[in-house]
Copies of this chain bind each other. A is one copy, B any other.
Amino acid sequence: MRILLSNDDGVMAPGIECLYEHLSEHYEVTVIAPDRNCSGMSNALSLHHPLRISKTEKGFYAVNGTPSDCVQLGVNSGFFEEPDIVVSGINDGPNLGDDTIYSGTVAAALEGRHLGLPALAVSLCGKQDLHFETAALLTVDILKSLENHPLDTKQILNINVPNLPIEEIKGIIATRCGKRHRAETMVEDTDPFGNQIFWYGKLGDGFDAGEGTDFHAVASGYCSVSPLSTDMTVHQQISSMNEWLSK
């Protein structure tokens, strides 16, 4: 099985190196990742400038673009052999609840799915003393399971791993995305030249974070696996909408 491995922290990030080492024991792995940190890049595509590929000392491919660009190049450029599956990560930090919509890690997986391939996004929910190996081992486990339980063609898996040694992980459970409180108010400041600037504030804590959510699973020591859809339509809403729209 041929894996396209990408991420959003950039081709030099420790998370992608650790995952590469574990995956390449079992599979043929090509790493194609952004040349810079692309956290928060979501599904952005570089439509306005051309993409360039360079090769690092480790044989990884670095791209002057976004996670989605990397997957497009890996699958749809003819430059690489087409992979069987896309894996994205290991992200340095969580992608829980509404983080998913901004995450470049999740976006790389979604891009794979849009191009017809099964896809996983893997994130490690810690800030320091990161147990990337735990996330790598669990990813290999889940890839093995997927051999018998193929992913639906409109879904990806969003995996969030507690920052613990592997022996302290309590299990793997399927979850729904929770929801965060609104992020803190943006931070107003002035630059050293006296101009007004704004920074994003800290993320909100979990708001909808009860049992069944990804927040709850990770907080309880479980590896959380959320099935995400590539189709955002709220199908059950359509008929009632048609009643009032047609008036």
Residues of A within 8 A of B (CB): 12, 35-37, 39-53, 56-57, 64, 68, 72-73, 76-79, 98, 100-102, 107, 110, 114-116, 142, 145, 148-149, 152, 155, 171-177, 179, 182-183, 185-189, 191-193, 195-202, 212, 225-235, 237-239, 241-242, 244-247
28 A-B pairs within 8 Å (CB atoms) are namely A39-B48, A41-B44, A42-B43, A42-B107, A43-B43, A43-B101, A43-B102, A48-B52, A50-B50, A52-B195, A72-B183, A72-B186, A78-B188, A145-B247, A149-B244, A155-B237, A172-B245, A173-B246, A174-B237, A174-B241, A174-B245, A176-B231, A192-B199, A192-B200, A226-B233, A227-B233, A227-B237, A229-B233
How long is the Cα–Cα vector from A40 to B197 in the complex, in angstroms?
18
How long is the Cα–Cα vector from A234 to B227 in the complex, in angstroms?
6
Using A40-B47, A47-B40, A176-B233 as known contacts, say yes or no to A193 and B202 having CB atoms under 8 A apart: yes
Using A35-B36, A37-B48, A50-B197 as known contacts, say yes or no to A185 and B226 having CB atoms under 8 A apart: no
Question: Which residues from chain B contact A79 at a C-beta distance below 8 Å?
Answer: 188, 198
Question: Which residues from chain B contact A230 at a C-beta distance below 8 Å?
Answer: 98, 101
Return A244 CB to nearest CB of chain B, in Å.
5
Question: Which residues from chain B contact A42 at a C-beta distance below 8 Å?
Answer: 41-45, 68, 107
